[in-house]
Amino acid sequence: MKVSTLTRYAQILLMAFALSACGGSGGSSSNNDEAGNQEQQGGGEEQQGGGSGGEEGSDSSAMNFTCSAGMENQSNLFKDYVGTYGDIAPDPETPDYDHTVAVDFDTMTYSVDGGDPVGFNVFGGEIQLMDGATASLNDDGTVVSVDLTGVDGNVKFSLSGTLEGTAFDVTTAKNAKLGLELNGASVTSGNYPAISVSPKTATVFLTLKGVNFLSDSREFGTGYSSANGKNYYDDNAVAADIEADAEKTVLWAEGSDDNGVLSAKGTLRITGEGTLNVVTGYKHGIYAKNRVYMYGGNIGVYNEGRNGIQSKNGFDMSGGTVLLCGVGEHTNKQSRGIIVSGDESDEGAGLGGINIKDGVIGIITVGKAISAKWDIEDDAETTDTADDPKPVVSISGGIIDIRTTGKVIDSDIYANRIAYYDEDGLAVTEVESSSPEGIEGKLGVDISGGLITVSSTDDALNASRDGDAYVTIRDGNESPYLVLQTSSGDAIDSNGDINLEGGVVVAVSSLGSEDGFDCDGKLNISGGIAVGISGSNHVYASEVSTRQNTFVMSSNYGGKPGTSMAVMNSAGTPVFAFEIPHDITKYGVMTITSPNMISGDTYSIMSGVTLNGGISSGGLYYEMPDVSGGNETGTVNVYAGTYLYSLGAQHEGGNNPGGQGNPPGGF
């Protein structure tokens, strides 16, 4: 296991929802967590080790950003934020600009290429910004339209000041590269996106300076268009009043149904040292029809509508900081975090994934937090798979902290058909469902680095494509550290295989029918330090493909919640140590694995021990503490060529090699 940057990675214990439950309070151990001696970048508190693993966060969180319904319009999720900020990475695609247009909304002036300010009097009709570029205002004063289709070369707009009640819309030439700098800008539009850029072939290079704010007045459940002026379901409306091409909406308002407050019909690339706060109650905070790339800047989205950030073909993060609050509890349309929908087409083939290399992400949502959601069973329109997206979430670095809060409604179990109105006010009848998962890749989840903390109501990690799905956790340039806990689902759930090849993994699910590791294929263990806590008595580890010594034991061997357990070799040296979460009332099975448990030795399972020193993540030690006290509940003789050992947890086939002992009574 690679531990060369543990100093940075131990900051997981200071993140927003670092699951104090996984610290095991019990008063029986002491831990000098490395995070306790690290000063949090961006002004965080120092956290001291001691007690039972030290405090690892709570709902109030060291991340310390507010996420509650009814926030004021000028929401700033970074106002009281004291957590870590992501580094700024260079955007390799940043172009040179041939022209720069600076617009000051406070003075309603603009200047071109550093020239003298000129009155931005769009109220007087169309104005010429430069050769090939015009600006105009629509009849009711709600949209400023900038036309750059005649400009030769790349243009950058720099916006500052306050624009209220009016949207800013830009149309570029095909394949254009548009620079968009927000430098202390505040745009609060009406029934239109605050800022929108088209066409779909354009690339927007967004640079953030200072503190910026975008919002609109659109509301969930309203059909925005210019097609008709009636509420379709209004008792006073009759069919003759409705044009043939009108949407049949419960509410109608003149405006635009574009998806985001910041909406790019093509690609959006984000960088800079500044902050952008976005507030919406309609669909998405930030939307790109093609792809979103993030290299820097601080993005905060407060969303009572659908998604914080959405794109069709991908979300790629190499730097910066994202804080997302999704509080909407709409039927079957709960607010979610980062969503990539996928596009079954020649242009979308092989895309539709999420790739996180670095940066910081904090998410609190009612619905899913992160999802590459294209589902071959539900979304495929043809049998040809050549044009299918590849909905995989890949994480190789960064810090990710997630909490989902929604109620789990399993449509496969309940199949309760309901009628409701969606975000566009359209009547929908379908089966009720809600799956507030932490991180979902329909095809796969591949983790090779980073610090990941998930506290979810449904599965913490999920890959759901039948047969082909996979969850792989492995060492990349650094080891990944995962602390996963769910109240109503599986900590790691794959409809195919789970591959544990490296990293430090805590996977906790205490609900009676759910598991720490749950797979329809094989649980393949070949590396890493990991513990899975299951509410059930299911055993998933594969005797055929497990190549690192793994013990599967009932709770009678591991010990009570809120206490600590350890595995000692024949010399009395600890090779595994874990603080069992204190906020679970009971569990069925504990699965543990470590490269320290080598063949040719006899190991003692110790419960109720006291731990001192060492370094842990989520209560799981990757640098061993001193161990004292406790009771021996069993022993395991480990033989060469046999890797899976059971104590009181019967594996399919009845194989129980090496396990011995007389555990105490159940609890």
The structure tokens listed for 266 are 């093509």
Top-confidence residue, 215 or 227: 215
* pLDDT confidence band for 650 (50 / 70 / 90): low
- Contact partners, residue 244, CB within 8 Å, separation at least 6: none
CA distance 249 to 423: 10
In this model, does residue 28 exceed pLDDT 70? Answer: no
**Count of CB atoms situated within 10 Å of the CB of 252:** 24
∠ Cα 334 367 307 (to 5°): 65
* pLDDT at residue 537, rounded to an integer: 77
HEC letters along 582-648: CCCCCCCEEEEECCCCCCCEEEEEEECCEEECCEEECCEEEECCEEECCEEEEEEEECCCCCEEEEE
* pLDDT at residue 65, rounded to an integer: 67
* pLDDT at residue 513, rounded to an integer: 82
pLDDT digits (tens, 9 = 90+) for 520-566: 999 999 999 999 999 887 777 777 688 999 999 999 999 999 999 99
Cα–Cα distances in angstroms (integers) from residue 663 to residues 559, 655, 659, 667, in the given order = 10, 19, 11, 11
Q: In this prediction, what percent of the chain has a pLDDT beyond 70?
A: 82
* pLDDT at residue 570, rounded to an integer: 97
CA distance 225 to 148: 24
* pLDDT at residue 26, rounded to an integer: 35
* pLDDT at residue 426, rounded to an integer: 85
* pLDDT at residue 348, rounded to an integer: 92
Torsion angle, CA of 243/249/255/256, rounded to 10 degrees?
-100
CA distance 177 to 94: 9
Q: In this prediction, what percent of the chain has a pLDDT beyond 90?
A: 68
Mean pLDDT of 252-276: 94
* pLDDT confidence band for 38 (50 / 70 / 90): very low
**Which residue do the tokens 């699910």 mark?**
509
pLDDT digits (tens, 9 = 90+) for 105-115: 999 999 999 99
* pLDDT at residue 251, rounded to an integer: 77
Most trustworthy range by pLDDT among 216-225, 238-247, 618-627 = 618-627
CA distance 572 to 617: 23
* pLDDT at residue 124, rounded to an integer: 63
Cα 540 versus chain centre, distance: 27
* pLDDT at residue 2, rounded to an integer: 57
pLDDT digits (tens, 9 = 90+) for 284-317: 999 999 999 999 999 999 999 999 999 999 999 9
pLDDT digits (tens, 9 = 90+) for 398-434: 999 999 999 999 877 778 899 988 998 888 899 988 9
Mean pLDDT of 383-404: 95
Q: Is 283 in contact with 193 (CB distance < 8 Å)?
A: no
In this model, does residue 11 exceed pLDDT 50? Answer: no
CA distance 136 to 339: 34
* pLDDT confidence band for 24 (50 / 70 / 90): very low
Say which range, 40-54, 137-151, 313-327, 561-575, has the weakest mean pLDDT: 40-54
Helix (H) or strand (E) holding 321: strand 321-326
* pLDDT at residue 111, rounded to an integer: 95
* pLDDT at residue 44, rounded to an integer: 32
In this model, does residue 161 exceed pLDDT 50? Answer: yes
CA distance 18 to 9: 13
In this model, does residue 246 exceed pLDDT 90? Answer: no
DSSP state string for 169-195: EEE--TT-EEEEEEEEEEEE-SSS-SE
**Count of CB atoms situated within 10 Å of the CB of 277:** 23
* pLDDT at residue 79, rounded to an integer: 83
In this model, does residue 351 exceed pLDDT 70? Answer: yes
Mean pLDDT of 83-102: 95
- Phi and psi (nearest 5°) for 19? 60, 75
User: Across all residues in the chain, what is the average pLDDT?
Assistant: 85
pTM of the model: 0.88
